[in-house]
Each structure stands twice: as C-alpha cells, then as structure tokens.
C-alpha cells in the first residue's frame, strides 16, 4: 500500500472530484461506509467555501477534496475522511465548532478543531505564531492520531501545488516542511510521505542542485538500467530456487537523499557507491533471514553494514533487515529484506497497520495506541509541553524529530533509543527526568566516562546519581535531545525560584519582626487571594525578585499594623548613612587610578603594558592566562572567566603566564564580589565591616538592584590573594542580613 503520487495541476485545469467519486473511493475499501455522512460533508463544505479561490485560481473546495483523496489512498475511516473535507471550514469560513458538532457529531468536531490554526492572538512575530500553531496541533495529535494524518495530507497537497505561491512564502513553507513535517512523517513511520515531502521541498529550496542531481540520475538510469534488471532477476531466481517466494524491486535513490549524503560526508557524485537500492519482500520473518543468508552467500557483504531492525525495531515501528553487498560489476548495492506487512508499515506508518476484516475498518485510534511511534510522540509532547513557551517547544520538537538514532542499553537490558550524537547525559534523561537531574557520573560498557561522552550503537550505560544534585544551567547547551534540554531548563528555573523564595522568606520574616508580629504560614495562606498568588512560595519568590514589598505582606495579614518607614523610600546613590555606615570607623576607602605599570607575573617579556581584566580582575591563587591584543598590550584573566570564550578562535593570542609574588613586598590586586542583602538599617555597615575586618580595601560600590526589600551590590575590592578573598566571602555568608555572595569573573 503506497501513497498515490500525482503531478500538480495547471491553473484552470483542475477537475474537481464529484460527490459520488468520493463515496466510491471510500466504498472501494470499506463497503459499510456511511454514505449519508460523506454526502452531507461534501455539500456542507462546498457551500461553506463558496466562491473562495486558491492561489492557482482553482476553487478552494478542490483542496479539501484532494486532501481527502490522499487519505482514501491510505484507507482511513469515515470520520477522518469527513474531517479532511471539513478541515478548513472553521478557519476560513463562517462555520463554528458548535455548528460542526451539531451536524456531524463531537468526534468530527474535535478533529476539525484540532486542525484549526490560532488566528486571534496578540503575537509579536510570525515565528511565534508558527510555533504556537504547531504547539496547538501537536497537543491535539496527542489526543487523536487522526489529526496528524489529516495535517500531513493537508501539507502534502499544499506542497504539490506550492509553485502557485509567491516566492517568499514558498521558501518559508518549503523550509518548514523540510524542518518539521518531513521528519515528523518519518518518525511516524510514513516513509513514502516523508520522501515526497523532502523531494518537493528540495526542488523549491535548491532548484539548481535538484535539477543537476536529477539529470545525473537520469543519465545513470539510461546507462545502468540493464544492471538493475540483471540484479533483480538474479536475486529473484536464486531465492525462488531455494523455495523463497519474493518480490524484488530495484530503484535509484532520490535526489534529496543523495544530496544529503554528499553534504554530510563531503563527497562528489562520482564518489557515491550505493546509489542503487533493492527491496526484497517475502512472506514471513523466517524467509527474511533465509533470504539474507542466500544473498550473502551469492555476493560478499560490506563489513559493518548489516543491521537487524526486525529483532530491534526502530522507534517508529520500522522493521526490516538491511545489508550492503558488492554486486555485479563490483557495484555496491543496498538491500532491504522485509515481509509484506513490514513493507506496508514502512511506507505508511500507523496507517499501514489499518487492516480490514469482513469489509469493516478497524479503529485506527486503537491501533495507534499499540504503536511505538505514536506512544513516542505522545510521551514527547507531554515532556516538552510542561512549562516551555511555544518557541522552545518548537525548538525541542525539531531536536527530537530530526536525528537518526542510536540504540543503547541500561545495565538491566532496557533498550533506549536516542538521536545520533546523544551523550550519556541525554541517556540519563531518557531513562527518567529525576535520573538526569541527579546525574553526577556515568559508566559506558563498564568504564568510567564523562557525562558528555557521545554514545554509539550497542553501548551499555550506567548512570551514577547523587541526592540534592541540581543540573547546572550550562548543561542545556551540552545535550541534544529536546527532553533533556526542557528538563534542565525547568530544573534551572526551579532552582532560581527556590533561591528567590529563600531570600523572600528571610525578608518577610524580618518585616514581621519589625512590626512586632510573628510570621505564621497558615495566616499567610489565608490571605493568598488578596495577594493574587497561588501559594506561599509564590509570595516569597515575588518578594525575593523585588516584585512585591514585604510591608504589603504584613499589612495583608495584620491590617492594623502601621509601618514606621515608607515602603517606597529608597536611598539615592551615595546616601550611605541610611544603611548605618556611620557606625564604621576603621574602614578605609581607596579610589586609585586605573591599574597599570609593573605586575609581578612570569612569562611576560619586554615592556608591553599589562593590565587586569575588567569586571573582576585576578588575584594570586587564581589560575591565570594572558591575552595579547595588538596595540593594547596584555590583559590578565582568571582561567574561569567567561570572557575568554571570545578568544577561542585566536590561539595565537594566548600566553602562558603565572604568578611570581615576592612575599617580602606583597601587593594588592583587584577583585569584584556581588552581595545580595536584606534592605534594613545597618545592612551595608555589616557587609563593609566584614570586608574591613578581613583586611581588604574597597575601591568602589555600585548598586545593581534597588528594591524596598533588598539590595544587590557590586563591591570593587583590593585583596592580597585568593585565600583572603575566599575568607571574606565565607564570613559574609554567615551574616544574617546577607542572602548571597558571588565572585564576579568578567
């Protein structure tokens, strides 16, 4: 069973399918079809679309009819065919969901609604609109696979008539098809449809390359046609002689698959050795393995090219045996050996499962629930839909769809399918989100390996976990699966929210103390509606982010409380007295000129000017590197500085330097720390006292965030070394008014 391939019609030449023709197409495979339902849908859609025209000039109603025709080739049920006929009525006519439900029932209404794009949204860009519509479609697909089949057929007919569309829109639609709909069809096992998507998109996006490869293939067909026929007949005769009934079909690869291989492996057309492919279709699984044995005894096999997707099916339900042999004329030949049922599923995916008994169509949704491909899609949608915006959803779905697969195993033998290029960390998230979030190490085939190790087919992977582990935000850029990226992003957001909630709780507790009251969670929970928050943690996180003022929380719980100081009173820059700075008498402030001159560092020669990196500096004890900039001299960075990433592609600028400190003549070095502290009288005094007691100089103070409840302050310091700096930071973290202390590495 294959999808009918029809050439696009010319303007004015379209022949609209008649009402009886639609019924006859469905009755050809389903004698018990509901003719009345099909007729009513035909008439309703024709009236609804009225005089609407397509870009080709054809009546718009020809489009839903062609979509329905594609689905009758797949032998789908009445409800799916009717949904195809009606699929644009809600979106492009005056029809409503309520009207469709009333005339055709809620099942068909739900299918049509799932296929309707979102129109009335205040969206900032076309990309966001595309992403939101795709998200809506896939969420509907998770409920009913028939939505996906109608959408794919809809896109297929649009691609067949894409040459009528303006060039700028044509390019966008072709790119979207190649990026999303072709791999989506492939992941659902519908290889016939995927191949047509790719060919049509390739022809529009790169017409010159498509035409060149097409011409080369036609020339090769003319010169090698006898070779294909020879291999077909030789294979068929050999298998028949061994009692194996088989259909042997020879073919050349399509232009897009050839172009993709040339791009991926940097090959010229002449270097391709496996342009010919043959499919051997037999009666049963036993004959598959017998046929492979006969093929390998007739022609030598290419090492490493045999794959058994029968014992280990792909995640899209694809099953077949693959091999490559050196055939007649020393020509490499790819062969696929499968049964008739496997061939049907390979071409049409879920629709290939739709068997017909006693003239009745089996329930496609029931069949889909038994499909590995549909189960994967529903799980993927569920994992990606949580908490991500539409553009992230689209990005992660592309990641899940577009890669070939590798198959790995847990120590207990569970098979995990991952995109090619996936790492042990991707594997951990594929096992379970909690395993990924708590992963600290891995073993691959019994050997300790980094979590970022790329996996190969057949690897056995064991993940080591630790309680309390939080995935670093940097992990998001080191994994390739959408599930892993979405989980890391959610965990990072959760950790940040927890951090803000902790700061907020401290701030609110101290606000209650100032008011002479005690913070009681139950009382706070009772006033959540007044605060417009869902939970106590939401309240604390809002205070920690500076979105709510702690005094408002106190007043919500105890309306009779009067506050002594104004909620909005925020000191101006330089107004240090409010913080209680006058209490500090032994603190020295120093505002030197920009650092320059001699710096005691080995590895530097000549009289080049040397300076420390801005926004953080470096101190003895840091591992350091020097960056040579022509005309500017040498800049010293600590090895952990993110700024060094800008020099990754300039290895000639890196200098190997290290500290050379004379302990008899110690010097001070620049460093920056960022302190988040509760906004109350004396808080700055407490922080500066710790810095002064630690023996450091303060060069400057910058207020990064000014909130009624807290301040985020950047301190420019001068310290002797890293040991002194770490001691000061540790002491600051013990202060009741301090929530967080971080060193800045610019």
b/e for 310-328, b at 16 or more Cβ within 10 A? beebbbbbbbbbbbbbebe
How many angstroms separate the CA atoms of 509 and 680, rounded? 13
Exposed, middle or buried: residue 80 (CB in 10 Å: 0-12, 13-18, 19+)?
Answer: buried
Which of 81, 41, 79, 85 shows the shortest CA–CA distance to 60? 85
DSSP string computed for 621-654: TB-EEEEEETTTEEEEEETT-GGGGGGTT-GGGE
92 is catalytic: yes
Q: Which of 24, 34, 35, 91 is catalytic?
A: 91
457 sits in the region (left: phi over 0; alpha: psi -120 to 50; else beta) called beta
How many angstroms separate the CA atoms of 334 and 186, rounded? 20
How many angstroms separate the CA atoms of 207 and 190, rounded? 25
Which residues share a beta bridge with 678? 710
C-beta neighbour count of 597 within 10 angstroms = 8
Q: Which of 24, 34, 92, 107 is catalytic?
A: 92
Which residues share a beta bridge with 447? 444
Give the β-pairing of 276-282 and 246-252.
Answer: antiparallel
Which of 34, 39, 4, 37 shows the shortest CA–CA distance to 19? 39
At 649 the three-state DSSP class reads coil
Which residues share a beta bridge with 439? 465
C-beta neighbour count of 527 within 10 angstroms = 16
Question: Are 8 and 160 within 8 A, CB to CB?
Answer: yes
> Could you say which DSSP state residue 34 is in?
-
Question: Are 427 and 414 within 8 A, CB to CB?
Answer: no
Radius of gyration of the chain measured on its C-alpha atoms: 34
DSSP string computed for 464-478: EE-TT----GGGGGG
Question: Are 350 and 367 within 8 A, CB to CB?
Answer: yes
How many angstroms separate the CA atoms of 48 and 253, rounded? 43
Q: Which tokens sit at 656?
A: 């190997």
Q: Report residue 240: phi and psi, to 5°.
A: -65, -35
How many angstroms separate the CA atoms of 479 and 455, rounded? 12
* Long-range CB contact pairs, 472-478, < 8 A, 24+: 475/425, 478/423, 478/425, 478/452
Exposed, middle or buried: residue 364 (CB in 10 Å: 0-12, 13-18, 19+)?
Answer: buried
Helices (H), 167-309: 167-176, 182-187, 191-205, 207-241, 255-265, 285-298
91 is catalytic: yes
> Could you say which DSSP state residue 181 is in?
I
How many angstroms separate the CA atoms of 108 and 89, rounded? 12
How many angstroms separate the CA atoms of 725 and 719, rounded? 6
349 sits in the region (left: phi over 0; alpha: psi -120 to 50; else beta) called left
Which residues share a beta bridge with 442? 449, 463
Catalytic residues: 91-92
């Amino acid at each position: 069973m294959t999808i009918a391939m029809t050439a696009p019609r010319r303007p004015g030449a379209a022949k609209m399918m008649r009402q009886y023709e639609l019924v006859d197409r469905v009755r050809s495979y389903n004698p018990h079809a509901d003719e009345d339902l099909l007729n009513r849908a035909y008439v309703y859609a024709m009236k609804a679309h009225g005089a609407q025209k397509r870009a080709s000039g054809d009546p718009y109603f020809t489009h839903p009819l062609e979509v329905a025709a594609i689905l009758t080739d797949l032998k789908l049920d009445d409800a799916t065919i009717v949904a195809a006929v009606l699929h644009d009525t809600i979106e492009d006519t005056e029809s409503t969901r309520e009207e469709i439900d009333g005339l055709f029932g809620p099942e068909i209404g739900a299918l049509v609604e799932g296929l309707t794009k979102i129109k009335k949204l205040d969206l900032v860009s076309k990309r966001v609109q595309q992403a939101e519509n795709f998200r809506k479609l896939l969420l509907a697909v998770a409920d009913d696979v028939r939505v996906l089949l109608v959408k794919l057929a809809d896109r297929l007919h649009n691609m067949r008539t894409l040459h009528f569309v303006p060039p700028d829109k044509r390019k966008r639609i072709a790119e979207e098809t190649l990026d999303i709909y072709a791999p989506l069809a492939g992941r659902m096992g519908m290889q016939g449809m995927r191949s047509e998507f790719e060919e049509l998109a390739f022809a529009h996006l790169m017409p010159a390359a498509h035409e060149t490869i097409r011409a080369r293939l036609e020339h090769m067909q003319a010169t090698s046609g006898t070779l294909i026929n020879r291999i077909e007949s030789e294979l068929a005769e050999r298998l028949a002689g061994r009692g194996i009934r088989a259909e042997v079909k020879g073919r050349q690869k399509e232009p897009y698959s050839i172009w993709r291989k040339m791009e991926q492996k940097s090959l010229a057309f002449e270097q391709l050795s496996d342009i010919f492919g043959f499919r051997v279709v037999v009666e049963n699984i036993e004959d598959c393995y017998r046929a492979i044995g006969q093929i390998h005894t007739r022609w030598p096999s290419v090492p490493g090219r045999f794959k058994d997707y029968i014992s280990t099916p792909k995640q899209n339900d694809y099953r077949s045996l693959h091999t490559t042999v050196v055939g007649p004329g020393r020509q490499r030949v790819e062969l696929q050996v499968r049964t008739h049922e496997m061939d049907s599923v390979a071409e049409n995916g879920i629709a290939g499962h739709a068997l017909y008994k006693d003239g009745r169509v089996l329930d496609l949704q029931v069949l889909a629930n038994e499909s590995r491909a549909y189960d994967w899609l529903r799980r993927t949608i569920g994992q990606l839909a949580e908490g991500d915006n539409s553009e992230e959803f689209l990005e992660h779905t592309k990641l899940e769809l577009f890669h070939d697969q590798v198959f790995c195993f847990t120590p207990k033998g569970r098979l995990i399918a991952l995109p090619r290029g996936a790492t042990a960390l991707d594997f951990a998230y594929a096992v379970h989100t909690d395993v990924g979030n708590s992963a600290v190490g891995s073993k691959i085939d019994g050997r300790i390996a980094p979590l970022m190790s790329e996996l190969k087919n057949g690897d056995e992977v064991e993940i080591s976990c630790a309680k309390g582990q939080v995935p670093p935000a940097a992990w998001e850029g080191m994994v390739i699966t959408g599930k892993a990226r979405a989980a890391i992003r959610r965990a990072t957001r959760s950790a940040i929210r927890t951090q803000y909630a902790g700061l907020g709780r401290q701030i609110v507790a101290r606000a209650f103390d100032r008011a002479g009251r005690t913070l009681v969670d139950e009382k706070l929970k009772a006033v959540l509606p007044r605060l417009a928050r869902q939970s106590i943690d939401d309240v604390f996180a809002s205070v920690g982010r500076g979105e709510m003022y702690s005094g408002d929380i106190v007043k919500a719980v105890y309306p009779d409380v009067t506050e002594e100081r104004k909620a909005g009173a925020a000191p101006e820059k330089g107004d240090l007295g409010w913080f209680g700075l006058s209490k500090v008498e032994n603190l020295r402030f120093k505002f030197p000129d920009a650092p320059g001159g001699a710096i005691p560092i080995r590895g530097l020669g000549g009289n080049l000017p040397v300076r420390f990196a801005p926004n953080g500096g470096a101190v003895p004890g840091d591992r350091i590197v020097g960056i040579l900039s022509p005309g500017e001299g040498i800049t010293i960075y600590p090895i952990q500085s993110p700024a060094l990433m800008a020099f990754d592609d300039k290895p000639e600028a890196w200098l190997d330097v290290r500290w050379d400190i004379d302990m008899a003549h110690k010097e001070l070095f620049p460093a920056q720390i960022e302190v988040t502290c509760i906004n109350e009288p004396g808080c700055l005094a407490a922080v500066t006292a710790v810095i002064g007691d630690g023996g450091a100089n303060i060069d400057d103070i910058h207020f990064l965030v000014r909130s009624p409840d807290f301040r985020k302050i950047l301190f420019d310091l001068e310290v002797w070394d890293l040991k002194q700096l770490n001691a000061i930071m540790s002491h600051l973290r013990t202060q009741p008014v301090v929530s967080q202390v971080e060193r800045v590495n610019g």
